[in-house]
Amino acid sequence: MQLKIHNLRFSYPQQQFTVKADHLDLQPGLTAMIGENGAGKSTLFKLLGGLVTTHQGKITVDQQPLKDFLKTERARKIGLAFQDPDDQFFNSSVKKEVEWELRQLKVPAKKQSETVTAVLKETNLSQQAQQNPYDLSLSDRKLLSIATVLAPNPQIALFDEPMIALDWPSQQLVSHIFTKLAKRGHTILVISHNLDWVAQNVPQVIVMGRGKVIFAGKTRDFLHQPTLVKKSNLLLPKVTRLTMALGINPPQYRL
């Protein structure tokens, strides 16, 4: 599924800050949205997720305006995991939290149960199924927010800083899940601050700066322009910084 932006303009009431994007085309596959603090990433995330609709211009999903979608139709197509997982939990157990969206979407009971078991296994949360979400560690709460997005199997999934607070094995697990979904043709957008992770795992980037899209394209094409990376106030991957410090040829990124 394609998520497209046409002449988008959005400002918060009584704020100077404006998100401006004339044209953006989010294709199936894995894309990262990166940029300095306050660049507008979370704002664009909310716009693309259909949570904020008071904008000018158009956001379309396969040519249909996102604004026209009914809430259930949008939930079936677009999954969202927030930066702070505590913004999204309200059920009394991990299992019920993953089940909730499936019940809203009227998925048959047997399918619900099979899906919850599979998703908890995939996110390594089977042992915590009966626990209250708020009794989980922050790392497991982040994994739970990802599990709630995976359960309805949306064609488009947006994740705001999913890697924060995850230990290395969980980061590997989540990277594997994203790559697998992308290979199956899902459209996955991940906000990240970690250019090292992006360089190794994500083939496409959208770079935001002061509310504008300053680059959209292949990750390697961005990383091979150190001046542009610097202008975006982003820290180059460690290996590039090391080679620059040593005065040797920088690495050639494959993604």
Ligand X SMILES: Nc1ncnc2c1ncn2[C@@H]1O[C@H](COP(=O)(O)OP(=O)(O)OP(=O)(O)O)[C@@H](O)[C@H]1O
Query: Which residue, 12 or 134, is less far from ligand X as judged by CB?
Result: 12
For the chain, the farthest-separated pair of C-alpha atoms sits apart, in whole angstroms, at 61
Provide the minimum distance between the beta carbon of 154 and ligand X in the complex, in angstroms, as a whole number: 22
3-state secondary structure 26-71: ECCEEEEEEECCCCCHHHHHHHHCCCCCCCEEEEEECCEEHHHCCH
Provide the minimum distance between the beta carbon of 97 and ligand X in the complex, in angstroms, as a whole number: 24
| Measured CA distances, 108 to 37, 74, 111, 121 (Å) | 43, 19, 5, 20
| Measured CA distances, 178 to 66, 118, 161, 164, 189 (Å) | 23, 16, 13, 15, 9
Query: Which residue, 36 or 73, is less far from ligand X as judged by CB?
Result: 36
Answer left, alpha or beta for residue 15, where phi above 0 means left and psi between -120 and 50 means alpha. beta
Provide the minimum distance between the beta carbon of 243 and ligand X in the complex, in angstroms, as a whole number: 27
β-partners of residue 158 are: 80, 189
Query: Which residue, 83 or 113, is less far from ligand X as judged by CB?
Result: 83
Give the SS3 label for residue 89: coil
Tell me which residue of 80, 89, 100 sits closest to 134, measured CA to CA.
89
Residues of this chain that interact with ligand X (CB under 6 A) are: 12, 15, 17, 35, 37-43
Provide the minimum distance between the beta carbon of 191 and ligand X in the complex, in angstroms, as a whole number: 7
Collect all residues with Cβ–Cβ distance below 8 Å to 243 and sequence separation of at least 6: 249, 250, 251
Provide the minimum distance between the beta carbon of 33 and ligand X in the complex, in angstroms, as a whole number: 8
Read off φ and ψ for residue 248, nearest 5 degrees. -110, 170
Query: Which residue, 41 or 141, is less far from ligand X as judged by CB?
Result: 41
Query: Which residue, 35 or 79, is less far from ligand X as judged by CB?
Result: 35
* DSSP-assigned letter for residue 223: H
Q: What angle do CA 114, 73, 67 make, to 5 degrees?
A: 150
β-partners of residue 217 are: 205
Provide the minimum distance between the beta carbon of 51 and ligand X in the complex, in angstroms, as a whole number: 11
Query: Which residue, 15 or 63, is less far from ligand X as judged by CB?
Result: 15
Query: Which residue, 24 or 173, is less far from ligand X as judged by CB?
Result: 24
Provide the minimum distance between the beta carbon of 161 and ligand X in the complex, in angstroms, as a whole number: 7
